[in-house]
Every structure is written in C-alpha cells, then in structure tokens.
C-alpha cells in the first residue's frame, strides 16, 4: 500500500496532501513512525561513547518529526473534521501513542544517559536554550516515572492508557450530544427578536434537512445569539436546558462516571510520582508554583469582583422588573436581560455593529494591523490542499522572507467540535518554518449576506491570531521549546494581549468597515466599543473565577472524596452564582477544557495571563499601539522565544519589571 504519511511531503512548502491521505493510512503510519523512533533511541542507548548533550539530548530531540507530524494531522482532524471512522482510528492511535511515550519515558538506559549529562555535563558550554532543553528533558523523564520501580512503572502505563481513552470519550460524547439536538420552529411568530442573519442561518439548516421552518442548533454561532435575542422565553428555556444537559443525560453519552474516573486516575498518577495531588504535580511547572498561590490569586480577584458583581446583579434585577416585566431572572434570561440592559445603558445595539464586522473585512484589518506591528504579510494560496473546502490557506511572509503557512477554518459543521482554538500541523525549529492553524465557529454567510461577526466573534478572532503569532513568529532551535510550548499559565499572554487591538480607535478604523459601502465605523460607535469591555465586568470575572475554583477542586488532595459530580460542582460554584441552580444541568460534564483539553489544574491561567497582558499592554499604550520599538521588543522577548527560558525572565526582558494586578483591575473598573 502506497502511504503518503510514510515520507516527507513533496508539495509546496511541504504542505499536507490531504487529497492523497486516506483514513486507512494513519494506523500503519503511526506504527511505522513509532518503530523508527524506537530504533533511533536504541542507537542512542547503544552508543559506547560517554553521554553528551549532542549524542544524547540533541539526538533524542531530533528523532520523531514524521511521527509528530502524522499524529498532529490525525488529532487535528478529529477535532475539526471528524467522522465515525476518524474517531475509531483516533481511539486506536491514542493507546499506541501513550504506550510509545511510556516506552521512552520509562527507558532506564536512556534516562541514565540523560541524567549523566544533566548531573555531569559542564553547562558552561551550553547556551541558555540548550540548558533549557536539557532541564526540560530531565524533568520530563522524572515527572513521567523514570525514577519509579518496575511495578510502579507498570501501574503508570495502565493509568496513562486509561486516561488517554477517557479523554477522547469525553470529547466524543459532547460532540454527539451537541449534534443530536435541534429546536424545530415552525411558527414564524416564534422568531421574535432574532437577528435577520440568524433567521437566515436557521432557515438554511432546515432547508438542508428537507424540513419546513427554522432549525436552531447548539452550535455557538446559533445558540449564543438565540439566547441573547429571542423574545420567546419558553424557547430560550428549552434550548438553555438542552445546552446545559450535554453529557449529563441518562444515555450512552453521560460523562459523570468518566469525570470520576479521570480525577481518580489523575490523583493516583500524582501519588505514584510522589505528589499529593494532580494540581501539585501540574503547578510544579507553572508560573504559579503552588496550590496556595493559585488560591490566593483567585481569592484576591474574587474580593475585588464581588462588590461590583453584586451591584451589577442588583441593577439587572431592577431593570428586568421595571423594563422587561420579569419578576425573577432565571438562567435562560441572563444573556437576554444583559443585552437589553447594555443597549439601554451604553446606547449601543450590537446588531448595528455587525454590518461593519464582515469576516473578510476584519480578517483584512488584522492582516494590516499585523503588518504595522510585525511586518507580516499574508498571501492567500488557493492551490494548497486543505481538509475541507471551506478552509483557507495563507502564506505568511516577514520582510519578503517566507515565515509560515496559516490554515484558517471559520465555520461550524457536522464533525467539528465547538469553540475556537489554535493548533499546529508542523512545528518550528532550526531550518523549518511552521504550519499553523486557527479553528473557529463563526456565523456563516447566508444567501443575502457575507459572514457578519458579532463583536464577541471579532475578539475571538483577534485572540486566536495572538496564539497564531506565537507559532508564526517562533524562532528557536528546537521544536519542543518552540511557539506555544511554554508554561501553561503563560500561553494565553500573546492571545489575550492581541484582543486589546479590538478596542483601540486606531485599530477599529482599520478593521471595521461596512460590508456594502466600505465606510469606516462611525465615530459614535468607536467611542462606545471600549465601554463594552467593562460592561458587567464584575459578573464576568466571577464566572471565570468560579471555573478556576471548580477546576482546582477536581485536582487537589480531596478529589478522591468526590462521588457525585453535580453535588460537588454545586458546592464549589454556588457562592459565585446569583441565579438558582438547575437540577438537570451540569457544567462539569461539558467542561472540555479540563477533561479533554490541556487546562486541568490550569483554568486559572486565563485570569493569570489577563493580569500579565494588562500590565504588558500598558507599555503599548504609553508608546503608541503601533510603536515599532515596543512591538519588536514583544516579538524578540516573547513571541519568538517560545519556552527557551523561564517566562518571568522573558517577561522582565520585555517589560523591565514583574507584572501586578493593578492594571487589570483599573481597566476592568474593579478599583
């Protein structure tokens, strides 16, 4: 069988030949890739020469590029373009790759060589990046069981294999639940309040399914505007309850037992490695280095946010009673009331903004902003293969030099999970430029209009481009230290700082242009957009903090006492909530960030990074948001450096001092 995954791609920029790759190619390619890497490791282990950085650490770093590439392709497809076949193949590949990682991490001869270099090598001969790689490899082995006895190593293998399978099952269950639901509206009167674009989208879905009327789904670009604008309270209730039930219904997609098993296995794994909890294990390699530091951080923000949130909630209730005839705000009312109140208080109807936020115009605006900041140019390539015809591909250049390929996948469809994320198909290293991907779920074009984004979708696009910049501008020697391979509570700095350009007048006038006339957003709206960021910031902060607390509660030393997911969740987050809890809903069962993604014991990092980015952006505000010296400093010390040094060292090189929360609190109006 001719398998394109078994060799380097002979395509433009070595891009992925998706048209030639079949599902049946993945498992043979992954097995072959694993064997090739293990062969290379045997060569390292059998080397009779004294272990050195070059013949051990560098040799280890250098093997496995094709396996890494193929694994990335498979798992990225499973997130953005999955099928029953891809899900089956991914579930077959996950244990193979987990066993492979354990075969490396638990290889005693290999670890002895790495330990020898770590303990005996004269590190004066290594540059800072080499020292970081050496330390990362040594710690990686220790933190993955290299010092365990044989029976403990066997236990670790079993635990890791189970966790890999459970994580996949969790995500597949959420996707299945999301796609299984539809709200079929047959009476046009039930569309009251909905934006015209949403009416068109839901009509299009119904037409494709051969049904009369309108079909509302749980996909974010449909669900969020529906609960925000629908005047039909009973329908808002129905779809809100459906969204909150995902993974919590009495069917094969229920995630409660999976959660109990995941947190139990994570704790067992941590104990096996000598830690009291999974959080303690995770935080050893974070800027926030302990559970107490995270809790102190969260609590300090909570103390600042509670007074503002209580005031905002009281104002919402008063408004709901006096203006909307709602005696009590329920879960399905909060977005609706908030939007009505924002429109009244800020004299701003966000639907009036949407014509100025066509996807193409915002995208062109981001390209222009990134040219001003980092001298980047984006050239669309229509010939490079893509995994779906909707995906767009851009060649990225810096000062006429090729820097990256960027894949951009913007719209929801069957087989694509919710949310937005950045990933890579190929990492950056010396003499290799990256292939980066951003995946979103934005409002689709309709028969009469292009894709018109909400302002929240605009900020999401800027956010993901911030992550993409971390990959595109990476300039390191080693893949494992490149791009977003940084401490998890530092990874959101580039993405969250990029959101600031959404709100600055100089930038707004670049990206916000009417899709019909090309005219810039009127000045009266420009001034109001900045106020959106601070609207109900207390309530928003409390919600983020509640998720941070919930995450930590699943991964600290008492996690083994959790027997009932819903009961536990309620006990943790009820102090942050003003709305009555709903028995048939459960947030945890669709909390993909911590049970499917990489944010376990790390959800606090969104707020942590927000503190850092607010402090960092102050320098741009002082010098000008397009100041070339400031952006060059940010690129040279943050974006290009990846994980080559401790993040605080990199941050201080950029900013000259450590961050503090005052910039964020002032910006949010919390002090």
- What is the length of the chain? 671
Q: Which residues of 532-556 are buried (b: 16+ CB within 10 A; e: fewer)?
A: bbbbbbbbbbbbbbbbbbbbbbbbb
d(CA 610, CA 616): 10
β-partners of residue 396 are 378, 404
Give the residue carrying structure tokens 């020469």.
49
Q: Which residues of 427-451 are buried (b: 16+ CB within 10 A; e: fewer)?
A: bbbeeebbbbbbbbbbbbbbeebbb
Helices 605-623, 537-553: crossing angle, 10 deg rounding: 140
Neighbours of 466 (CB within 10 A): 22
Instruction: Sheet containing 392-398: give its strands across.
Output: 376-380, 392-398, 401-409, 435-439, 421-426
Give the residue carrying structure tokens 């490899």.
137
Q: Helix (H, G, I), strand (E, B), or coil: what is residue 467?
A: helix
d(CA 556, CA 558): 6
The tally of CA atoms less than 13 A away on the side-chain side of residue 41 is: 22
Q: Helix (H, G, I), strand (E, B), or coil: what is residue 238?
A: helix
d(CA 105, CA 138): 10
Q: What is the CA radius of gyration of the chain?
A: 25
Name the nearest CA neighbour of 417 among 626, 184, 177, 161.
Answer: 177
Q: Are 578 and 306 in contact (CB under 8 A)?
A: no
d(CA 587, CA 248): 9
Tokens standing for 245?
Answer: 């039930």
Active site residues: 464
d(CA 530, CA 80): 33
**274-to-14, 143, 266, 269, 551 alpha-carbon distances in Å:** 43, 9, 12, 9, 21
Residue ranges of the alpha helices (H) in 209-255?
A: 220-229, 233-244
Neighbours of 234 (CB within 10 A): 9
């Amino acid at each position: 069988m001719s398998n394109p995954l078994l060799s380097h791609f002979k395509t433009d920029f070595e891009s992925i030949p998706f048209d030639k790759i079949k599902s049946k190619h993945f498992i043979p390619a992954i097995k072959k890739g694993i064997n090739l890497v293990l062969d290379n490791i045997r060569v390292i282990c059998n080397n009779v020469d004294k272990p050195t950085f070059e013949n051990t650490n560098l040799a280890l770093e250098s093997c496995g590029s094709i396996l890494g590439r193929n694994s990335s392709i498979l798992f990225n497809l499973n997130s953005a373009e999955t099928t029953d076949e891809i899900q089956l193949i991914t579930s077959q590949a996950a244990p193979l790759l987990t066993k492979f990682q354990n075969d490396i991490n638990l290889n005693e001869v290999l670890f002895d060589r790495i330990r020898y270099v770590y303990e005996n090598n004269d590190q004066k001969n290594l540059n800072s990046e080499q020292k970081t790689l050496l330390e990362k490899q040594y710690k990686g082995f220790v933190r993955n069981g290299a010092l365990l006895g044989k029976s403990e190593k066997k236990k670790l293998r079993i635990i890791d294999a189970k966790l890999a399978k459970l994580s996949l099952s969790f995500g597949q269950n959420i996707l299945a639940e999301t796609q299984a639901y539809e709200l079929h509206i047959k009476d046009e009167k039930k569309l009251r309040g909905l934006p015209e674009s949403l009416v068109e989208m839901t009509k299009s879905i119904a037409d494709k399914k051969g049904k009369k009327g309108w079909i509302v789904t749980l996909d974010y670009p449909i669900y969020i505007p529906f609960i925000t604008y629908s005047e039909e309270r009973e329908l808002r209730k129905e779809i809100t309850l459906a969204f909150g039930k995902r993974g919590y219904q009495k069917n094969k997609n229920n995630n409660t037992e999976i959660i109990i098993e995941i947190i139990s296995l994570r704790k067992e794994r941590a104990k096996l490695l000598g830690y009291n909890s999974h959080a303690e294990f995770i935080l050893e390699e974070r800027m926030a280095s302990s559970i107490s530091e995270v809790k102190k951080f969260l609590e300090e923000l909570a103390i600042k946010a509670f007074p503002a949130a209580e005031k905002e909630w009281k104002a919402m209730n008063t408004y709901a009673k006096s203006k909307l005839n709602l005696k009590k705000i329920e879960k399905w009312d909060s977005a609706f009331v908030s939007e009505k109140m924002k429109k009244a208080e800020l004299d701003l109807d966000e639907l009036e903004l949407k014509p100025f936020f066509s996807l193409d115009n915002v995208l062109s605006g981001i390209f222009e902003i990134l040219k001003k900041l980092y001298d980047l140019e984006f050239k669309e390539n229509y010939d490079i293969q893509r995994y779906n015809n909707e995906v767009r591909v851009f060649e990225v250049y810096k000062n006429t030099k090729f820097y990256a390929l960027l894949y951009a996948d913007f719209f929801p469809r069957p087989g694509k999970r919710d949310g937005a994320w950045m990933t890579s198909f190929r990492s950056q290293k010396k003499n290799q430029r990256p292939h980066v991907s951003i995946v979103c779920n934005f409002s689709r074009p309709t028969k009469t209009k292009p894709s018109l984004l909400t302002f929240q979708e605009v900020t999401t696009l800027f956010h993901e481009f911030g992550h993409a910049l971390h990959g595109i501008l990476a300039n390191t020697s080693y893949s494992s230290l490149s791009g977003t391979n940084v401490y998890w509570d530092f990874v959101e700095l580039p993405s969250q700082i990029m959101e600031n350009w959404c709100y600055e007048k100089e930038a707004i006038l670049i990206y916000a242009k009417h899709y019909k006339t090309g005219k810039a957003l009127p000045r009266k709206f420009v001034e109001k957009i900045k106020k959106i960021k601070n609207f109900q910031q207390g309530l928003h902060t409390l919600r983020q903090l509640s998720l941070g607390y919930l995450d930590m509660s699943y991964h600290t030393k008492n996690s083994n006492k959790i027997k009932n997911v819903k009961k536990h969740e309620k006990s943790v987050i009820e102090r942050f909530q003003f709305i009555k809890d709903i028995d048939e809903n459960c947030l945890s069962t669709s909390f993909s960030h911590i049970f499917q993604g990489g944010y376990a014991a790390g959800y606090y990092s969104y707020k942590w990074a927000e503190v850092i980015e607010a402090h960092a952006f102050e320098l741009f505000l002082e010098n000008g948001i397009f100041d070339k010296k400031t952006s060059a400093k940010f690129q040279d010390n943050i974006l290009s450096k990846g994980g080559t040094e401790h993040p605080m060292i990199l941050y201080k090189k950029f900013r000259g001092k450590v961050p503090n929360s005052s910039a964020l609190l002032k910006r949010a109006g919390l002090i």
